Amino acid sequence: MTDNKILELPILPLRNIVIFPSGITPLTVGRTMSLAAAEAALSTEEKLLGVMAQREDGETEPTPEKLYSTGTVVVINRMMRSPGAEEVLHLIVQGQERFRIIEFTQQTPYLKARVEILPEPVREKTPEVEALQRNIQVLVQKALSLLPNVPPEIRNIIVQADDAVRLAYFLGSVLDLSVTQEQALLEANTESDLLHLMHTYLAREVEVLEIRSKIANQAQEELGKAQRDYILREQMKQIQKELGETEPEQAEAQLLRERIEKADLPDEVRAEAERELKRLERLPSAAPDYHVIRTYLEWILDLPWKVSTEESLDLNKAQEVLDEDHYDLVDIKQRILEHLAVIKLNPKTKAPILCFVGPPGVGKTSLGQSIARSMGRKFERMSLGGMRDEAELRGHRRTYIGSMPGRIIQALRRAGVNNPVMMLDEVDKLGMDFRGDPASALLEVLDPAQNFSFRDHYLDLPFDLSKVFFIATANTLSPIPPALRDRMEVIRLSGYTEEEKLHIAKRYLIPRQIREAGLNEEQLQFTDEAIQGIISRFTREAGVRQLERNIGSVARKVALKVAQGKGDVFTIKVEELEEYLGHEMFFHEMARQKLPPGVATGLAVTEMGGEVLFIEATLLPGAKGLTLTGQLGEVMQESAKAALSYLWSHSDEMGFDCARKFENSGVHVHVPAGATPKDGPSAGVAIVSALASLCSGRAVRSDTAMTGEITLSGLVLPVGGIKGKVLAARRSGMKRVILPKKNEADLKDIPEEALRDLEVILVERVEELLPHSLTPADDSGSEQPVPEAPTVTARDEVRAEGGEARA
Amino acid sequence: MMSRSKKIFIERISSEYRRPSGPLWQPAVDIYRCPEGWKIKFDLAGVKLDDVQVLIAEDKLIVRGVRRDTVITEGWSYHQLEITYSRFERILKIPCDLARADIQLESRDGWFILHLNCG
């Protein structure tokens, strides 16, 4: 190396760049030390300058230690000063040779060093170098194919390069390499070192380029599809414009605008609709919100904000319609007529909210329809049975995908008027769980003080429900939350008597079923006895559904015969019922039985209407206390305890030997059917009769059914469901019914014909009760304290399905 | 105008000649054909005759040298620089038997003229 040329040069430190001994590089010089170095170089004869890369960019006044030890000698080819900024020099330099620092001879005002010029990297002709050269060429070609915008000059230089070292230097200046990498290239002293480095850098560069182009391609593809759609859509618009058709979105928005202008909307609703329409007009039809807004606007336009049906206020006609559709039900008809009368006098009155409670099949739903008909209003029915989600009633907010208004608003849209009769069926069967409590949502709907501005979540606009005539129906009141129950005017439909059923059958059911079967009234007739036979022996229900099914069954069988040509005119007589309906399904069980001591007949109310039930009591010699079985509720258990205590403490006065018997034996009270839960205080008199019978040995009269609550002091208190209970007693063939005296008023509700065959005994105290309920002493059965096995009847099986019974 | 010329010493070097260092600048050249042979005119203003070297490597004629800025004096500074200084080199291939040719270099009016008598 000693024979290499030694020079003394001003040194220009470079940031971020390494200049290779080839190529021409523009430099901007601004640092004081660099300016001084450049000026010094310019004032020499040959304009030579040493440039060296800094190890760190941040250094503004780098000392020799901060520089790499190898640099490049450059000639300054051009120099300009920036106009207006004299202290910035623009240089164009050309790299000539590499050098190595021997020593720095000066540090201020600029760096100056003695340097040794290094020879070009030694050219080698080894196979390794050859291979590297070829590989680099391949990589370079690949890189060029991946870079779309390489200027042709550069392309030419690269492709035509015949010298591997020059190509490597050139690539070093072109590729995006770090200063360290570039410096390593500069410092390579042999061709193979240089090419190795270059090969590594290039391979990596090509890899990066490949990944980049892959990403770019993907993005391009995605963009390409969206662009294509957009262009096609724009073209379609242009074509439509040419054809003189308006754009579909605009046409749609225009249509909606016209509809909003025409519609009779409340101010608040109109303002909201117009606001939404403006949003719609700004959206392209492809936007997801577009359809949401459109559907919303359509809902607003479809709702009967101010549309009402004209009410027919002809009371006579309303009465006629009600009578035509339903037999009896005087209370309800009266209530409807009253309401119509009120509307006639005060058109602004709020619609009542009625709740029909009664067993299945008594006509609650059809009554709703005929109320609507009698008032000339639209009828909308929605079943709430099993509804668990509050949102189903009140809708989902529009933020949800696929959101819809709730059932109330939907029903109003169907009705098309804001004053329909809306029937909320099965309100006692509303579900309730973590998703919400629809019953609570109903509170708002059914409160006349709130429902004039009912807000559905979807609409989020107040809708006036106060003109809607709400009718709820339920089988029992107990599952209905008290707050909801409180809002409704409860009207009980407690079931029909046999006579009523006979009328209903003749007037409604038989004609309907004959029509259904495709017959006419001459072809099929029923005798009254036959109808009564069906009612008493083939059905056991408070309503008339089973009756209608049985009539339908007979009608179909007759239709078969007519179709087979086996006859033309059929009159169904009571003897023929078995032929048509099979064996009779229910028996008059109680009347024909003689009850053993300790068994009494009570009366209960279930969802299916009134029922008779047995109270069985027996002594358990040697045992202690009172055992109660038969799924009795707490109130009923307490009632049994009270009955026992009363008899025990008053046994002397009554002349029964209850005290002694209860002292020495336990008492077991059982109420079949064991699987049906029962509760309520009204079995008190039956239990006290059964226990009295037990300790007196006198049987309870088997033709007597009884109900009433008792107190420890012996009072008989009134109970509910008298009509249903009395009808049940009559249905079961009872001849006598013992009721609390205070229930006397309820007897007015019971049709006269139902009371005709019944002896009703009203009692105020237990002492009055027992002489009526027990058989006279001489007529007593055996002293046997253990009663016969309880009678299992078809009725019990029916009741077992029917849920809870309330005694 | 000032005109100097010299019968130059021709250095013959091997065909394996490579420049010892990085790329140098190349002066522009006009080449004339004349009855005696060739006249080659180099645009080399400001170059001293002594700073130019002519080499022959087989069929290649190499003219190299250095241009120095002799004008700049102490206390001056550059405002603009457009002339390229430092070493230059021009390699030419002339259809001429260089081995036996008579070669003379003349500096005239800022041009360098190489007289090449191929004989």
Q: Residues A194, A188: contact at Cβ < 8 Å?
A: yes
Provide the pLDDT for residue A501.
84
Residues of A in Cβ contact (< 8 Å) with B85:
45-47, 75-76
Three-class SS of residue A736? strand
Phi-psi domain of A498 (left: phi exceeds 0; alpha: psi -120 through 50; beta: other) = alpha
Residue A553 has pLDDT above 80, yes or no: yes
Rounded to whole angstroms, how far apart are CA atoms A2 and A116? 9
A contact test, residue of B81, B83, B87, B89 with most A CBs within 10 A: B81
Task: Name residues whose C-beta falls within 8 Å of residue B83's C-beta, 6 or more positions apart in sequence.
Answer: B46, B67, B69
A673 upstream amide cis, omega within 30 of 0: yes
Q: State pLDDT tens for residues A657-703.
A: 777 777 778 888 888 766 667 777 888 888 888 888 888 878 888 88
Domains of chain B as residue ranges with CATH: 48-68+83-119 (2.60.40.790)
**Residue A31 near residue A142, CB atoms below 8 Å:** no
Say which of A76, A78, A96 has its CB closest to residue B21. A96
Q: Tell which residue, A691, A689, A698, has the closest CA to residue A662.
A: A691
A45, A79, A117: residue with CB nearest B80: A79
A43 touches chain B (CB under 8 A): yes
Question: Which tens digit of pLDDT belongs to each residue from A585-631?
Answer: 665 445 446 777 788 888 887 766 677 888 888 888 877 888 888 87
pTM score, whole prediction? 0.50
A71 touches chain B (CB under 8 A): no
Q: For the domain covering A599-806, report its CATH number.
A: 3.30.230.10
Is the Cβ pair A22, B21 closer than 8 Å? no
B75 min Cα distance to partner chain A (Å): 9
**Residue of A665, A642, A558, A616 whose CA lies nearest to A790:** A616
Which of B22, B78, B80 is the closest to A95 by Cβ? B22
Q: Can you name the residues that pair with A75 across neighbouring β-strands?
A: A48, A94
- Asked if residues A145 and A175 have their Cβ atoms less than 8 Å apart, the reply is no
Distance, CA of A573 to CA of B13 (rounded, Å): 145
**Which of A647-656, A709-718, B14-23 bottoms out in mean pLDDT, i.e. has the lowest?**
B14-23
| Sheet containing strand B111-117, strands side by side | B3-7, B102-108, B111-117, B37-43, B29-34
Return the active site residues of A: 682, 725
The percentage of chain A sitting over the pLDDT mark of 70, rounded to a whole number, equals 92
Handedness of CA A678, A680, A683, A688 (dihedral sign): positive
A288-302 and A267-282 helices cross at what angle (nearest 10)? 150
CATH code, A498-581: 1.10.8.60
Provide mean pLDDT across the span A343-356.
79
Say whether domain A315-492 belongs to CATH 3.40.50.300. Answer: yes
> Do residues B70 and B45 touch, judged by C-beta distance below 8 A?
no
* A95 close to B (CB below 8 A): yes
Residue A120 in contact with residue A191, Cβ under 8 Å? no
Assign A270 to helix, strand or coil.
helix
Tokens for A150, please give them. 């390489």
CB contact under 8 A, A21 and B82: no
Across the interface, whether the CB atoms of B85 and A45 are under 8 A apart is answered yes
Apex A229 CA angle, A224 and A235, nearest 5: 125
Q: Which of A1, A20, A45 to mutate to test the interface with B (most CBs of B within 10 A)?
A: A45
Band (pLDDT 50/70/90 cuts) for residue B21 is low
Q: What is the DSSP string of A100-141?
A: EEEEEEE-SSSEEEEEEEEPPPBP---HHHHHHHHHHHHHHH
Counting residues of chain A whose pLDDT is more than 90, the rounded percentage is 7
- Measure the CA–CA gap between A336 and B88, rounded to whole angstroms: 120
Q: What is the pLDDT of residue B30?
A: 93
Note whether B87 contacts A80, CB cutoff 8 Å: no
Comparing A315-492 with A599-806, is the CATH topology the same?
Answer: no
Element housing A72 (H / E) = strand A70-82
Mean pLDDT of the residues in chain A = 82
Residue of A nearest to B78 (CA): A42
Nearest CA in chain B to A46: B86
Tokens 């291979």 correspond to what residue? A131
Please name the residue of chain A whose CA is at the shortest distance from the CA of residue B68.
A45
Banded model confidence at residue A123, pLDDT cuts 50, 70, 90: confident
Give the pLDDT of residue A787: 38
Size of interface A-B (CB pairs under 8 A): 71
Flag whether the ipTM exceeds 0.85. no
- Confidence (pLDDT) at A72: 92
3-state helix, strand, coil in chain A (%, to 5): 45, 20, 35
- B63: closest CA of chain A, how far (Å): 18
- What residue in B sits closest to A48 (Cα-Cα)? B86
pLDDT at A158 over 80: no
For the domain with range A6-118, which CATH number is right: 2.30.130.40, 3.90.1150.10, 3.50.50.60, 3.40.50.1980?
2.30.130.40
pLDDT in tens, A64-90: 888 898 999 999 989 988 887 778 889
A48 touches chain B (CB under 8 A): yes
Q: Are A77 and B77 an interchain contact pair (Cβ–Cβ within 8 Å)?
A: no
Q: A10 pLDDT exceeds 90?
A: yes
Task: Find the largest Cα–Cα distance for chain B.
Answer: 52
Q: Which band of pLDDT confidence, cut at 50, 70 and 90, is reported for residue A523?
A: confident
DSSP track, A332-344: HHHHHHHHHHHHH
Residue A454 has pLDDT above 80, yes or no: yes
The answer to whether residue A147 scores a pLDDT higher than 50 is yes
Query: Stretch B27-36: mean pLDDT, rounded?
Result: 90
Cα separation, A144 vs A709, in Å, equals: 104
Q: Please tell me the distance from the alpha carbon of residue B110 to that of residue B118, in angstroms, as a whole number.
A: 25
Nearest CB to B69 within list A47, A80, A119: A47
> Which DSSP state fits A505?
I
Domain boundaries, chain A: 6-118, 127-209, 248-302, 315-492, 498-581, 599-806
CA distance to partner chain B, nearest, from residue A21 (Å): 5
CB contact under 8 A, A47 and B22: no
Confidence of residue A777 (pLDDT cuts 50, 70, 90): low
Stretch B48-66: mean pLDDT, rounded?
86
- Min Cα distance A36 → chain B (Å) is 11
C-alpha to C-alpha distances, A494 to A136, A709, A797, nearest whole angstrom? 101, 20, 21
Task: Specify whether the CB–CB gap between A184 and A20 falls below 8 A.
Answer: no
Contact between A701 and A773 (Cβ < 8 Å)? yes
- Average pLDDT, stretch A739-756? 81
- Structural element, H or E, at residue A218: helix A191-242
Of A43-57, A518-532, A586-600, which gets the smallest average pLDDT?
A586-600
Residue B77: C-alpha distances to residues A13, A28, A38 (Å): 21, 17, 11
Could you tell me which of A606, A240, A544 has the C-alpha nearest to residue A367?
A544
